């Protein structure tokens, strides 16, 4: 089939604008007149240094990232960050409070779906502190078992002084997403956060992997760390983008001497920052395409415009789903106010009909339908 | 400039065959007639599963990887593996010998240049065992400070029963490489290796990042683990290829319960293997290009043919260097028998002349000269 005949709905790596792909393919053969393809350049060349700076600046501009935060590029994806967050932020906690026992170092996890659940499990496995589940979305669902909503704020229980607070903005598997509507019951409750442990602010960590650059991030200055795998909205898989408040760039080796678990070197945010994201060879092609995509978004009016367009799409798609639910064809999975913008989840009542639908859809050029629960 | 006007000598990410790049750019827009670009496909789609299998098979065929070994694809590069090796192989050691103290778990490092030195430092930092330096190339150089040769075998001191033995086939920064000539003093001394700890064979680990697929790997069945970042000879940066003997795929979580340091999940070889390298989104585009490159190498006669061609190039380039050394223009850095095939290192005697040379070379289309020490 030709590209023009296809509509790609995949929730994993997803669609890139055609003009971006065309520019990327040109750069793959001959990057900006150097006569060398982008991935064949040295990552220590001036050209690639410039590209890294341009990507950094484009993300800073489009998201209004304040000067208090640095932007880093690395590998390993969201799952890599599940581990890196624990190493770096427990190291910071050791440097701030060297005298505490492991059971006095608490990590607060807000669990609203499969990905935040997995992140909390990784923290529990790596140890060095206790995991406190601030809220578990399943306990608030009718069945007691499904992630189907942002739990009501009044049920959340933060620790008094956690090493960090963690949540996931959009849960792809479950289709549950925080809203960005101020004062809404489904927005992230910034006003409830414990603010400081006395010596330093408590870092708020957010996984934005599947919603990064789909709309502005309100209160961005209040985050300690935002991270995102590029592959959902920005570029080809392999690139992880970190937005880190500078007080989180701590000497992990010094912390290890105080009893923190030694941080694997490529996980250390400070090592990455000190090397300008070039501690080891970065995923150059993913960075290049990501830069082209961000530039493309900016030329289209930036994230406010993108938010509007996504809102229109959302209304259309959920309109159709609601109609299907009314007619008894679908079962909606997620409470309306907590529904994801990024990925729409519902179950087809008749399993055989679902199979026929997917086969027909593929034949007609509708790809990536399966796995949309 | 056009591609045809450029000769790229970069030792970092390096040149890819033009026909491969052209096929890759086509696949980026429309992968094998699906109407979707490769990086836009779901990594869980049948098409990408097939590609992963094809890449696995092509590497297995071209390197004669035996059925005792599995081939895995991951992110994080060589530096990521510096850490992953320690986590996985100390975990294995804990499962085999749960009763030992940390100081009784020894990791043997053969240090012949900057990269193996860095790997040994990472092992020392992560702890959980002692690092034994089997040999340090610097101690055998005239100055006592330079990595300039494979040290004579009779000076190597392996531990009696290490958790693993580690070396780097080719040291890019220093230009020191093991030869593949049987019984040579600069080949890796398989005949000297301690063979077994009683319960299990001792894993031999080798970093082949910069020499992977430049020639066959003799005695491949004797390795526990071979790893390589793709970016030197195979494909765009972001992909790490692992060839792992199956007894090294151990349950790292079970080992943590016995006192081993908990392994970050994305580092666990068993987790990767159980998920068929799809535990998280893999670097899809790098895998695609790598597959095209390996297929290209195979169509050119495989690694024996490539070895011959590389030998001819080596003779030409080192001939010119030797001439320069004779004329007093260059200082050769590495003892002849230990010289790298992959990257040629020498110093220009007159520093000003070196600057002029690099400027002129760039103007004429010779790129990637600087940094070649």
Structural domains in chain B, CATH included, are 54-295 (3.40.640.10), 302-367 (3.90.1150.10)
Give me the catalytic one of B117, B207, B270, B333.
Answer: B207
CA A342 – CA A52 distance, rounded (Å):
27
**For chain A, percent of residues with pLDDT exceeding 70:** 92
Chain A hits for B232, CB-CB cut-off 8 Å, are none
Question: Which residues numbered 329-358 in A keep a CB inside 8 Å of some CB on B?
Answer: none
pLDDT digit string (tens) for A177-236?
Answer: 999 888 899 999 999 998 776 788 999 999 999 999 999 999 999 999 999 998 878 888
Whether A43 and chain B come into contact, CB under 8 Å, resolves to: yes
pLDDT digit string (tens) for A241-274?
Answer: 999 999 999 999 999 999 999 999 999 999 999 9
Answer yes or no: do A237 and B282 touch at CB < 8 A: yes
Closest CA to B167 of B197, B218, B139, B133: B133
Asked whether residue A4 carries a pLDDT value surpassing 70, the answer given is no
Asked whether residue A70 carries a pLDDT value surpassing 70, the answer given is yes
Whether B9 and chain A come into contact, CB under 8 Å, resolves to: no
* pLDDT for position A170: 94
Whether A363 and chain B come into contact, CB under 8 Å, resolves to: no
Answer yes or no: do A39 and B237 touch at CB < 8 A: yes
Most B CBs within 10 Å, among A16, A280, A359, A373, to test the B interface:
A280
Cross-chain CB nearest to A2 (options B35, B238, B368): B35
Give me the catalytic one of A232, A270, A333, A341.
Answer: A232
**pLDDT class of A98 with cuts at 50, 70, 90:** very high
Chain B hits for A235, CB-CB cut-off 8 Å, are 39
Residue B57: active-site member: no
* pLDDT for position B3: 63
Under-70 pLDDT residues of chain B: 1-15, 197, 357, 361, 364-373
Chain A hits for B5, CB-CB cut-off 8 Å, are 35
- All residues at 6 or more sequence positions from B168 whose CB lies less than 8 Å from its CB, including other chains: B110, B112, B113, B115, B116, B119, B206, B207, B209
**pLDDT class of A316 with cuts at 50, 70, 90:** confident
Whether B236 and chain A come into contact, CB under 8 Å, resolves to: yes
* pLDDT for position A12: 45
Residue A355: active-site member: no
Count CB atoms within 10 A of the CB of residue B310: 16
Count CB atoms within 10 A of the CB of residue A228: 26
Burial code (b: 16+ CB inside 10 Å, e: under 16) for B345-362 equals bbebeeeeeeeebbeebe
* pLDDT for position A190: 93
Residue of B nearest to A233 (CA): B40
Answer yes or no: do A44 and B16 touch at CB < 8 A: no
- A17 compared with A259, residue with greater pLDDT: A259
Answer yes or no: do B266 and A231 touch at CB < 8 A: no
Burial of A222 (0-12, 13-18, 19+ CB in 10 A): middle
**pLDDT class of A301 with cuts at 50, 70, 90:** very high
* pLDDT for position B12: 45
Q: Which secondary-structure segment (H or E) carries B263?
A: none
Structure tokens at A366: 């509708």
* pLDDT for position A365: 67
Tell me what ipTM this predicted complex has: 0.90
Answer yes or no: do A77 and B281 touch at CB < 8 A: yes
**pLDDT class of A139 with cuts at 50, 70, 90:** very high
CA A250 – CA A219 distance, rounded (Å):
23
- Nearest CA distance, B265 vs chain A (angstrom): 7
Burial of B26 (0-12, 13-18, 19+ CB in 10 A): middle
Phi, psi angle pair for A127, to nearest 5°: 70, -160
- Nearest CA distance, B271 vs chain A (angstrom): 12
Q: Which secondary-structure segment (H or E) carries A132?
A: strand A130-136
Output the average pLDDT for chain A.
89
**pLDDT class of A11 with cuts at 50, 70, 90:** very low
Cross-chain CB nearest to B40 (options A4, A16, A44): A16
pLDDT digit string (tens) for B305-335?
Answer: 988 888 888 788 888 888 888 888 877 788 8
- Nearest CA distance, B322 vs chain A (angstrom): 27
Whether B362 and chain A come into contact, CB under 8 Å, resolves to: no
Phi, psi angle pair for A54, to nearest 5°: -65, -40
Most B CBs within 10 Å, among A1, A6, A12, to test the B interface:
A12
Closest CA to B72 of B205, B292, B271: B271
Structure tokens at A268: 């250390």
CA B296 – CA B285 distance, rounded (Å):
17
Structure tokens at B371: 């940094």
Cross-chain CB nearest to A281 (options B12, B29, B39): B12
Average of per-residue pLDDT across A296-313: 89
- Nearest CA distance, A184 vs chain B (angstrom): 33
Residue A115: active-site member: yes
Phi, psi angle pair for B226, to nearest 5°: -120, 130
CA dist B28 → A24, A84, B321 (Å): 9, 31, 41
Whether A10 and chain B come into contact, CB under 8 Å, resolves to: yes
């Amino acid at each position: 089939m030709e590209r023009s005949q296809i509509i790609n709905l995949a929730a994993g790596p997803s669609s890139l604008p055609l003009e971006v792909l065309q520019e990327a393919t040109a750069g793959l053969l001959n990057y900006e007149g150097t006569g060398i393809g982008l991935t064949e350049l040295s990552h220590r060349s001036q050209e690639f240094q410039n590209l890294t700076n341009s990507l950094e600046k484009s993300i800073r501009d489009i998201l209004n990232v304040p000067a208090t935060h640095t932007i880093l590029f690395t590998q390993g994806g969201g799952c890599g960050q599940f581990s890196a967050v624990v190493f770096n932020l427990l190291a910071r906690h050791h440097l701030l409070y060297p005298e505490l026992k492991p059971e006095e170092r608490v990590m607060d996890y807000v669990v609203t779906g499969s990905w935040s659940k997995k992140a909390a499990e990784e923290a529990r496995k790596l140890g060095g502190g206790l995991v406190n589940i601030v809220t578990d979305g399943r306990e608030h669902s009718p069945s007691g078992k499904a992630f189907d909503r942002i739990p009501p704020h009044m049920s959340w229980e933060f620790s008094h002084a956690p090493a960090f607070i963690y949540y996931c903005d959009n849960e792809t598997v479950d289709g549950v997403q925080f809203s960005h509507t101020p004062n809404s019951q489904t927005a992230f409750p910034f006003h409830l956060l414990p603010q400081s442990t006395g010596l330093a602010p408590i870092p708020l960590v957010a996984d934005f992997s599947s919603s990064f650059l789909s709309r502005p991030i309100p209160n961005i200055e209040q985050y300690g760390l935002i991270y995102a795998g590029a592959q959902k909205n920005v570029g080809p898989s392999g690139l992880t983008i970190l937005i880190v408040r500078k007080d989180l760039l701590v000497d992990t080796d010094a912390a290890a001497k105080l009893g923190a678990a030694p941080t694997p070197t490529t996980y250390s945010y400070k090592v990455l920052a000190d090397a300008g994201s070039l501690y080891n060879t970065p995923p150059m092609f993913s960075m290049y395409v990501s830069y082209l995509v961000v530039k493309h978004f900016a030329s289209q009016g930036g994230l406010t415009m993108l938010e509007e367009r996504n809102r229109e799409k959302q209304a259309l798609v959920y309109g159709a789903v609601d109609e299907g639910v009314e007619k008894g064809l679908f079962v909606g999975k997620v409470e309306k106010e907590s529904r994801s913008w990024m990925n729409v989840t519902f179950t087809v009542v008749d399993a055989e009909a679902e199979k026929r639908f997917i086969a027909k859809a593929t034949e007609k050029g509708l790809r990536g339908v399966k796995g949309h629960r």
